[in-house]
Copies of this chain bind each other. A is one copy, B any other.
């Protein structure tokens, strides 16, 4: 077994604290990665605090992982020691069902194994995430990171990036379309970058007028303040696609009214109850679709990374030290980050 240091939470009320644990030894299909950077996702906070009532403790969060390969198993072909590699939200799946065969491991019929706050396949052992020195992952769930990208700013691509890239691709967002990205946070700022790169006319839809300038810097052609009823009415029925990145339950009805006939709004952030309730009329009138999307499959995650390398797309980040993670969480609650915290794992060594 591999001894690893990291940070964990032990219950829903306590801060992250130093934690030592063991990883499995590298098996024939495994890749052992020295973690260099790990992004802080909003869902880390949700799970650390048991917002989804499914938390398993102790929990080592982190599923936006970038690092250097230190060892590979005998059957590993896609990576070798010294390569840069990434791990996202899942580390395994059944690999046999329809979804897995389609490269949609995130929708595995038997449940994908999440990178943390889950149990290893066929075992009671907890999975531990990226707020740690090392991780061992089966090669199918590891992507290769080109060394031309700024590695620390790549980390958030593994969750925030693929979560926005995948639905924009699946619903064929492209030139000639007016596309709204709702919510300017970790996901939203990647949504703006991707929608722009795909050639759409991008409208940032936000509750906060003060975010307008930054939205334009990120690539938005226009800013729509959702609290401005007059502006919302002027945009009603004009959007070809909406990507809703708001991470908590909220009123989707005003956004649905922005869509053209037959068009789709995709939720990627809000897993919990949509309150105030969705009105049936919001989908019936105009034959609209309220849809959702979860991260992306492994092949598509690699495709996304390669797309980012070609188009020089990374996340806008703020680096934090491992020992400052609790302050970062406090700031995340207040949306006080542009647009993703990334933990520099070198700080874990300093702390030791």
Report which A residues bind B (CB closer than 8 A): 98-99, 104, 107, 109, 170, 237, 249, 261, 264, 267-294
Contact = CB atoms under 8 A, between A and B. Distances in A.
A107 to B, nearest CB: 5
Contacts of A283: 267, 290-292
Given A276-B273, A278-B273, A293 B284 contact: yes
Given A261-B99, A277-B278, A107 B286 contact: yes
A278 B274 contact: yes
Q: Looking at A237, A269, A280, A288, which has the most chain B CB atoms within 10 Å of its CB?
A: A280
Interface of A is mostly: loop
A104 B286 CA distance: 9
A287 B280 contact: no
Q: Shortest 4 CB-CB distances between A and B: which pairs? A: A283-B292, A284-B292, A270-B280, A273-B277
| Candidate in A237, A267, A283 with the most chain B CB atoms within 10 angstroms | A283
Contact of A249 (B104, B277, B286, B289): B277
A237 to B, nearest CB: 7
Nearest to A256: B292
A285 B111 CA distance: 10
22 contacts: A104-B261, A104-B287, A107-B287, A249-B280, A264-B289, A268-B284, A270-B284, A271-B279, A272-B279, A272-B281, A273-B278, A274-B280, A275-B277, A283-B290, A283-B292, A284-B292, A284-B293, A286-B292, A287-B294, A288-B291, A289-B290, A290-B290
**Which of A170, A273, A294 has most chain B Cβ within 10 Å?**
A273
A261 B275 CA distance: 25
Contacts of A98: 261
Given A107-B286, A286-B107, A267 B280 contact: yes
Nearest to A102: B261
A267 B292 contact: no
A273 B279 contact: yes
B287 A291 contact: yes
A237 B294 CA distance: 16
B267 A271 contact: no
Contacts of A170: 287
A188 to B, nearest CB: 16
Given A98-B261, A104-B261, A292-B287, A272 B280 contact: yes
Nearest to A246: B280
A272 B253 CA distance: 11
Given A109-B237, A278-B273, A278-B274, A294 B284 contact: yes
A88 to B, nearest CB: 16
A220 to B, nearest CB: 24
